[in-house]
Structure 1
Amino acid sequence: MWADRRIQDLFGIELPIIQAPMAGSVGSEMVVAVSEAGGLGSLPCAMLSPEQMRTELGIIRQRTSRPINLNFFCHNPPQADPAREAAWKRRLESYYVELGLDPRTPAPAAARAPFDSAMCDLVEEFAPEVVSFHFGLPERSLLERVRATGAKIISSATTVEEARWLEDKGCNAVIAQGYEAGGHRGLFLSQDITTQAGTMALVPQVVDAVAVPVIAAGGIADARGIAAAFALGASAVQIGTAYLFCPEAKVGPLHREALRRAKDNDTVLTDVFTGRPARGITNRIVREVGPMSELSPEFPLATGALAPLRAKAEQAGSGDFSPFWSGQAGALGREAPAGDLTRQLAAETLSRLSRLSGDA
C-alpha cells in the first residue's frame, strides 16, 4: 500500500508517520497512543531528569510493546558569560517592574540538558528501537554506546551539508527539517537562519544527496502535506504542531488557544526564549525584544530570566512571555486523540495517493 516502505521496515512500524518529539509538550501518554496506532511515538528527553525519564519509560513499556523513539539534544553546554547574562536581565528589567517582580531575583537554571552518560545508561537499559538527536550528534563514545543497543539512529538536518555529515557519521536515516517547522531549528554546522530552506526545496535535495531514507519535517499537517513529501522523495514524515491539538499534548490553555487562533503568518523564528532560533507564535516579548536579539544569552540560558515573567503573566491569564511553539501550518490542525489522528492521516494519505495514481 505504501510505495516506499524503507522507514517502516527500518523502524518496525506500520505507518510512515513519526510524532515529533516536542520537549515540554509530549509525555508518555502521547507516545503510547501514536505507537499503538502504528506510527512512531517519540519521547522528548532534553527537559527530563534521569528519574523522570525512568518513570516515563516505565509507563511506556508497560502500555505498549511497539517501537518508540527517544529524542535528545546534543548541544555544547553553554559557557558562563556573566556580562551578557546581566545585560539580558537589564533588558527585561522593565517587565519585572511592570509585573511587580524584583529584578534582582536570581534566574532559575535552564532545564534543557545535552545527551550525557546518565541518559545513555537509560537508553541501554530500556533499549528503544529508535534514538533521535537534535543539533547534530553526541560525542563518538556515546554514539557508539547507543548503536551497540541495536537502536536505529537519526538526527535532524536543515541543509544538504548537514544531511551528508549525519550520513557520514552513521545515521540510519535523516530528518530534513524545513524552514516551516515549529520549535527549535536543528542547525549545527551553521547558525545562519537567513539561508535556511523550506521543506519543498530541502527534501528533494537531501534525497538526492544521501543514500539513507529521508524523513520530511516542517509544515506537514494533513494528507496533502504527507503526499507532497512522498512525491519529493521522502520515505516518511515527522509531524509536530498537528499533534499539539491532541488532548494528550501537555500544553496549557493559553497555548491551545493561541494555536486555535493562529494564521499562516502568525509564527516567527525567535531566540528570545532559549537563546537558539525556534519557531513559535508571535507575542509581546517576541515583538518588543526580538524576534532575534543580540542580547539573548547562549542556549539555553535565556530561559532562566524569562521564567519568572512567564509564570507571573500566566497566573494573570496572559501569554505575553510564554513560548507558544508552532509551525507555519498550525491552522491545518484538528482536535482529535493522537491515535485517531495518526490513523486518520494515514488513511487519508493512502486515499489521496490512490487517486493520484489512478489519475496518472
Structure 2
Amino acid sequence: MWNQTRVFSVLGVAYPIVQGPLGGFSSQRLTAGVSNFGGLGGFGAHGMEPEAIRDVIAEIRSLTSKPFAMNLWISMEDEGARTSGEVEFQRAASAIAPHIERLGGPAPVFTPYRPIRFEDQARVVLDAKVPVFSFIYGIPPREILDEARRQKIVMMGTATTVDEAIALEHAGVDIVIASGFEAGGHRGSFLRSSEDSLTGTMSLVPQTVDAVSIPVVAAGGIADARGIAAAFALGAEGVQMGTVFLACEESGAHPVHREAICSGRATRTGLTRGFTGRLARGIRNELMDQMNRPGTEILPYPLQRSLMRNLAIPAQKAGNAELLALWAGQSANLARCADVHELLQALVDGAAARLNR
C-alpha cells in the first residue's frame, strides 16, 4: 500500500502526510485534527516564549493521543538584531507609516529587542517528551540531539539543498524534509544564503534521496493527490504540505488570508525579505511590491517581523488583503477551503487511487 513507507513506520502515523508547521498561523485545533485523522499534525512555535510552548503542548495533548510535531527555528536572529536601534527602526517604519495612518492604527513605537533563546524553547519540548521535534534554519547542538535520542523523540530537519540534507543525516536526524523553493513562507536555508539555495522540489527531492539513507519527505508546491504521487515517483516516502492546511477552517490564519488563498486570485507569488527580514514566499500584493523596491529599509530578523505587526493588525481589522503578508506557496490556487478531515480524506483517497495501481 502507498502509505506503508519508512516515514509511516518512524512517525507511527497511518499516512505519511505531514502538516507544515505554519509559523504564527498554527493552531492546536488544526494540529490535533491532522493527527487524529492519521497524518502528522505540526505546530510552529518559533516566536513563542517557553511557558507558552508548554501550554500549547498540553492543549494539543488534550485534543489528541496521536503523534504530533513541535517545530522550532534553530537560528533565532540575524546579524545586527542586537545592535539595531531607534534610528534604524524609524527609517524602516517610514515605509509602512502612511498605510497605518490611513487605516487608523497607532504609530509604531520603538522598544528594545528582547531575544528568545532556542535552547530555552528546546528545553520545554524535550521535557514534554513530544513525539516529534522538527526544526529549520540549522541543526541543534549535539547535546540537544543526544537528549532527544535518549527520550526516543523523532527528529525531523529541513534541508533546502542536498548539502544541508547530508549535514542533517550526519547529525543523526531521523527524517529529512527536502523543501523546494515553491514552498510558502520561510524554507530555512542554513549552509548558504536563502537566495543561493533556491532549488525546486522536482530537482531537490531525487538528488536528496540519492544522497542520504534516511527517509525523505518532499515539501514545496504539493497541494493535492497528484503532487503526492509525483513526490513518491521522485523517491520521497512522505510529503509535507503547508498552504493547503493554512486554507483550512481550523488553521490560525485570518479569514482575509484564507480567502486570498481560496479565491482563485493567488496566481502570483513572490519572494521578499520585507515582511520579516528573512526571505519568504507569499501572494504578490501591493505591500510586497512596495517592500521589494530598491532602497526600502529592512530590519534584521526578527525586528522586521515585529515592526510589520503594527500594520498587520489594522489591515486585518479593515479586511485589506493588499496590506497583509499573505504567506502561500506556488500551488496556492490548488488549495480548497475545507475542514481538515475533508481535505485529508480527499488526499488519501486520491493518493491511493494513483499509487496503488
- How many percent identity over aligned positions? 37
Q: CA deviation at 1:149?
A: 1.3
What does residue 321 of structure 1 align with?
323
Asked if the contact 1:89–1:103 (Cα under 8 Å) also holds between the matched residues in 2, the reply is: no
**Which structure 2 residues correspond to residues 1-360 of structure 1 after superposition, within 5 A?**
1-2=1-2, 5-78=5-78, 79-82=81-84, 86-87=87-88, 89-93=90-94, 95-97=96-98, 99-100=100-101, 105-106=109-110, 113=116, 115-117=118-120, 119-263=121-265, 265-290=267-292, 295-354=297-356, 357=357
* TM-score calculated relative to the size of structure 1: 0.90
Equivalent position amino acid for 1:17 in 2 = I
3-state SS of paired residue (1:72): strand
Equivalent position amino acid for 1:28 in 2 = Q
Asked if the contact 1:13–1:67 (Cα under 8 Å) also holds between the matched residues in 2, the reply is: yes
In the alignment of these two chains, the number of paired residues is 352
Asked if the contact 1:21–1:44 (Cα under 8 Å) also holds between the matched residues in 2, the reply is: yes
Q: CA deviation at 1:82?
A: 2.6
Asked if the contact 2:27–2:251 (Cα under 8 Å) also holds between the matched residues in 1, the reply is: yes
State the Cα deviation string for residues 103-135 of structure 1 (Å, max 9, x = none).
67225858x945213x23322332122110010
3-state SS of paired residue (2:221): coil
3-state SS of paired residue (1:99): helix
Asked if the contact 1:43–1:70 (Cα under 8 Å) also holds between the matched residues in 2, the reply is: yes
Equivalent position amino acid for 2:110 in 1 = P
Structure-2 separation of matches of 1:236 and 1:291: 38
Asked if the contact 1:269–1:291 (Cα under 8 Å) also holds between the matched residues in 2, the reply is: no
Q: CA deviation at 1:194?
A: 4.8
With over 3 angstroms needed to count, the CA separation of the structure-2 counterparts of 1:91 and 1:52, relative to structure 1, is closer
State the Cα deviation string for residues 174-209 of structure 1 (Å, max 9, x = none).
000001000102100011425511101110000000
Q: CA deviation at 1:265?
A: 4.1
Q: CA deviation at 1:54?
A: 2.1
Structure-2 separation of matches of 1:67 and 1:230: 22
Structure-2 separation of matches of 1:325 and 1:4: 32
Higher mean Cα deviation, 73-82 or 208-217? 73-82
Q: CA deviation at 1:61?
A: 1.5
- Mind listing any 5+ residue stretches in structure 2 that lack a counterpart? none
With over 3 angstroms needed to count, the CA separation of the structure-2 counterparts of 1:195 and 1:32, relative to structure 1, is closer
Asked if the contact 2:43–2:69 (Cα under 8 Å) also holds between the matched residues in 1, the reply is: yes
- Mind listing any 5+ residue stretches in structure 1 that lack a counterpart? none
